[in-house]
Amino acid sequence: MVVRYKFRLYLFSLLMLAGFFLLVYRLWSLQIDRHAEFAKMVRVGSELKARIPGVRGEIKDRNGITLATNRAIFEVRINLGEMLNEYNRLVRIGQMKEVPPFTHNVTERGIMRERSEPDVAQIFKQTIMRRLGEIGLEARSFNADEDMRIHFRTFASIVPWVYRKDVTFTEFSRFAEHNLGLPGVTVAERAVREYPYQSLASHILGYVRLPEDQRVTEEEKEEWDRYLPDDFGGEGVEKSFDEYLKGKPGVRTMKVSERGRLVGEVSFKEPRKGNDVYLTIDARIQYIAEKALRDGGIGRGAVVVIEPNSGEVLAMASVPSYNPNKFIPSISTKDYREYLDNPVNPLFNRAVQAYAPGSTFKIPIAFAGCLADIQGRSYSCPGGVQYGNKTMHCWIAQKGGSHGSLGLSDAIMRSCNCFFYRYGNAAGINNITKACQMLGVGVKTGIELEADTPGVLPNPEWLQLNLPKERWSDGFTANTSIGQGFVLATPLQMASVVATVANGGKSYRPHLLKRVMDGDTLVKEQQPEELASLEKEGITPQEIELIRKGMWKVVNAPSGTARGAQIPNVEVAGKTGTAQAWRPDKGKSIKDNHTWFISFAPYVKPKYAVCILVQGGYSGGGTAAPVAKRVLEQALALDHGYEVKIEPIPEEKGNFNQVLAVTYEAGPVLVAAVEEDQDLGQESEPVAEIPVARPVARPSIRRDADAAGAVEADQAPRIPKAVPVRRAGLFNRGGEGEKPSPKPATEEDKTQGKRGLLDRLFR
């Protein structure tokens, strides 16, 4: 009896072992021995090729300080085409009720028609949004009509729609740890721009924009099953140097099952980082300039600093300003509306926009006299000069005086209007036009910023084109000769003018590009570009020295108008200017003088050429000259051990306050209060009214959620359950097959994981 029992037990065990070995053999045969046979049976199109956006190169200053870099964010992406296919399958097998189609109007050949399409917004809310909540991803309202539905009509299943751009690393980890089981849904890391110093040099750097379908050809999109476009430069040097900064795309090839599910990764080619762009900007001097405007209480103004012997722009500051980080990856409707509704217009780069230059324009007029060979003549100032039936006054006439007979240098020092009325007419409008064009006034400077404007250089041809009923007269020439009337120039242009005076007569194109680097390999290096040589045009060094000496007297002579720009042990030369202007305010015109100061230092072997503009200032010597002193004093101190700790600068909202005088009472370098100068501008006809400019470039705006995309009460996040991960995300690296859910990560684990992601993203 016992023997029979043991026999049956042995027989049963033997059969079990035989069955087990048969099963193992069968698995080996199907998965290994006949792998190639079954691989051929997979239908065509089983491999899905996805484009991975490249990482933008960094923007650095001339010394390698990073002004624009990248950081990682995590996005929830929805492939609306895959989502729709899954919805249709669930409807066919009866697991989901059919959602009524969405009807909208379209215009075809001038005829409005009604068209129906799947209601992707409701399908998304019913099939995906609830499941996202189950794993702990917070459900957020979205814009259905102007965002999701338009994206579906435009891209269908080519480009995934981004549901959330602000997924935290904790949420990302949770998503990776738990099974979603939803086709078309991935959470992926992406590089976005970051400006570590906030509004520092914001008008130079600009910002990037999210991809647009108009920038991608149909042929390019057809090369990919999934096309993820690159961000692109929308403003500033981000736009100007976009061809260098944009990265090289990568490729991820995924295996797709017969049911359209992703089952593994076939291959992956890393995206490449774009080139690094080094600017001519010195971040230390840029910081000095930005702080000088803010610490001086200036609500609207600009500072430009140029290296005289190359045209390299070392600093370009403008207030008010904006924080470009608000535009990354897109700016909210609220924030953008605040910028646009701000009457001071913080998006406006005042350094490259045109204003009446006032008496600073007497420097180009001085060169026009050199072309006419009248630079050695003297002209008398009786307090006023009559042209036609109009008497045009000098500023000293307001005090009941006159300047008497003056030569060129003294006329610059005293900023005598009567001298330049007569001097300009003697030189002639043709020589004025020629001299200004040699110095880069009246034309675009060519700097690598789209916002660069040419200003206005009035002459008979310009008048005929713009005011055909008017005829050019000596009165127009006289008005032009003191930088008023129709004359408009930018701070950048006037900085270039003073740079030409500083270096002895060579006019260079101002530029921002220093070099482009691909790692340690030089891609491009910008060389100085000479626009004109005054000596070759017949202006001798001795004649240039007459103008330089006049500018030296402006700062250093007892009768100069900019004594507040004096720096101990440093010879500074400059020229003040105050142009009368008005701005509209509630149907009225309010006086809004533009005060200027152009300067260079040291007088021998100059290192810096500076232009200061203060809107709403009282006088050039009282408001603009102290700012130039602050900038020059600290910039020159850099060569003698002075250190600047560059910190993030908050955006400046600006104001319309009148600036009577600028003083600096604290800081490592003290600037004393200045005496009021007498260069206050004059009433003269006609007077140009400065238009209020608005930004042209439109950023990527994050649309507000609408009713169709509102979160419902039953879509609140739920505590996730730990279940195995069944498939890899389309844009995340992952192994094939199922992986056990790991134990909950500690804070140290999460930190290390995040560092790993960042390292992989930016390497």
- Note whether residue 484 is domain-resident: yes
Interatomic CA distance for residues 399 and 384, integer angstroms: 12
Residues 259 and 371 in one domain: no
Q: Please, what is the average pLDDT of the chain? A: 83
Question: In the predicted model, is pLDDT for residue 359 greater than 80?
Answer: yes
In a domain, 36, yes or no: no
Strand partners, 112: 107
Domain boundary among 640, 658, 685: 640
The amino acid present at 438, given as its one-letter code, is: M
Q: Considering its fold, how many domains does the chain have in total?
A: 2
Both tokens of 13, joined, read 């065990």
157, 81 contact by CB (below 8 A): yes
Return the residue matching tokens 């230390």.
284
pLDDT recorded at residue 258: 60
CA distances to 107, 422, 429, 632 from 426, in Å:
64, 6, 9, 36
Residue 103 lies in a domain: yes
Alpha-helix runs per DSSP H in 106-235? 120-124, 130-134, 149-155, 169-177, 202-205, 218-222
Give me the torsion for CA of 492, 497, 503, 506, rounded to 10°: 100
In this prediction, residue 356 carries a pLDDT of: 93
Backbone angles phi, psi at 574, to 5 degrees: -165, 180
The stretch 636-657 carries a mean pLDDT of: 94
User: Both 351 and 443 in a single domain?
Assistant: yes
Question: Partners of 443 in the beta sheet?
Answer: none
Q: Which residues span the domain enclosing 435?
A: 283-640
φ and ψ at residue 88, rounded to 5 degrees = -65, -35
> How confident is residue 679, by pLDDT bands cut at 50, 70 and 90?
low
Dig out the tokens for 99 from the structure.
């959602």
62 confidence band (pLDDT: 50, 70, 90): very high
pLDDT of residue 169: 78
Residues 216 and 320 placed together within one structural domain of the fold: no
Q: Which residues contact 383 (CB under 8 A, 6 or more apart)?
A: 393, 394, 396, 397, 401, 402, 418
Query: CA of 57: how far to CAs of 13, 192, 323, 515, 686, in Å?
Result: 67, 11, 20, 13, 49
- What are 535's two structure tokens? 């000596």
Confirm if 539 and 371 have CB atoms less than 8 A apart: yes
pLDDT at 136: 67
Specify the higher pLDDT residue, 48 or 564. Answer: 564
Determine the average pLDDT of the residues in 101-123: 80
Integer Cα distance of 614 and 739 in angstroms: 65
Q: What is the pLDDT of residues 431-487, one digit of tens each?
A: 999 999 999 999 999 999 999 999 999 999 999 999 999 999 999 999 999 999 899
Of 430, 431, 437, 422, the closest CA to residue 478 belongs to 422
Q: What is the pLDDT of residues 254-307, one digit of tens each?
A: 776 665 556 666 777 888 899 999 999 999 999 999 999 999 999 999 999 999
Q: Averaging pLDDT over each range in 51-55, 144-148, 245-249, 455-459, which range is the top one?
A: 455-459
| Percent of the residues in the chain that have a pLDDT greater than 70, as a whole number | 82
506, part of any domain: yes
Q: How far apart are CA 66 and CA 728, in angstroms?
A: 35
- When pLDDT is averaged across residues 402-428 and rounded to a whole number, the result is 94
Q: What's the pLDDT tens digit per position in 582-629? A: 888 777 888 888 999 999 999 999 999 999 999 999 889 999 999 999
Q: Are residues 251 and 291 in the same domain?
A: no
Q: Are residues 420 and 351 in the same domain?
A: yes
Co-location of 575 and 435 in the same domain: yes
Highest average pLDDT, of 30-34, 114-118, 166-170, comes from 114-118
The answer as to whether 565 is a domain residue is yes
Cβ neighbour number for residue 465 with a 10 Å cutoff: 8
Amino acid at 163: Y
Name the residue with higher pLDDT: 123 or 689: 123
Q: Check which CATH number belongs to the domain holding 453 and give it.
A: 3.40.710.10
Q: What pLDDT is attached to residue 260?
A: 57
Band of residue 507 on the pLDDT scale cut at 50, 70, 90: very high
Q: What is the pLDDT of residue 216?
A: 63
> Residue 388 has which token pair?
């036609």
Find tokens 């430009």 and name the residue: 304
Tokens of 314: 């070392």
- Residue that terminates a domain, selected from 594, 617, 640: 640
Residue 57's CATH number: 3.90.1310.10
Q: Which residues of 508-530 are buried (b: 16+ CB within 10 A; e: fewer)?
A: bbbbbbbbbbeeeeeeeebeeee
Residue 57 lies in a domain: yes
Contact assessment for residue 239 and residue 209, using Cβ atoms and an 8 Å cutoff: no
Q: Is the peptide bond before 320 cis (omega within 30 degrees of 0)?
A: yes
DSSP state of 745: P
Residue with tokens 């209601």: 119
Q: What is the CA radius of gyration of the chain?
A: 35
> Once rounded to an integer, what is the mean pLDDT over residues 295-324?
96
Query: Within this chain, do residues 270 and 232 fall inside the same structural domain, yes or no?
Result: yes
| Between 540 and 560, the higher pLDDT residue | 540
Question: Are both 598 and 503 inside the same structural domain?
Answer: yes
Is 503 part of a structural domain of the chain?
yes
What is the C-alpha separation between 649 and 318, in angstroms, rounded? Answer: 13
Residues 149 and 177 in one domain: yes
Q: Is 366 helix (H, G, I), strand (E, B) or coil?
A: helix
Task: Identify the pLDDT of residue 583.
Answer: 82
Residue 111 or residue 745, greater confidence: 111
Give the mean pLDDT of 719-744.
38
Interval 212-242: pLDDT, tens: 655 666 666 667 777 777 888 899 999 999 9
Pair (261, 303) in one structural domain: no
Same-domain pairing of 495 and 585: yes
Token digits of residue 591:
């006086």
Neighbours of 71 (CB within 10 A): 14
Give a yes or no: residue 366 inside a domain: yes
At 491, phi and psi to the nearest 5? Answer: -55, -35
Are 84 and 224 contained in the same domain?
Answer: yes
Give how far Cα 230 sits from Cα of 149, 235, 383, 593, 602, Å.
21, 16, 63, 45, 46
**Per-residue pLDDT, 41:** 59
pTM, full prediction: 0.81
Last residue of a domain, one of 594, 623, 640: 640
What percent helix, strand, coil does the chain show, rounded to 5?
Answer: 35, 25, 40
- pLDDT for residue 121: 83
Percent of the residues in the chain that have a pLDDT greater than 90, as a whole number: 50
Q: How far is CA 261 from the centre of its chain?
A: 41
Taking residues 75-81, report their average pLDDT: 83
Q: Can you give the pLDDT at residue 348?
A: 92
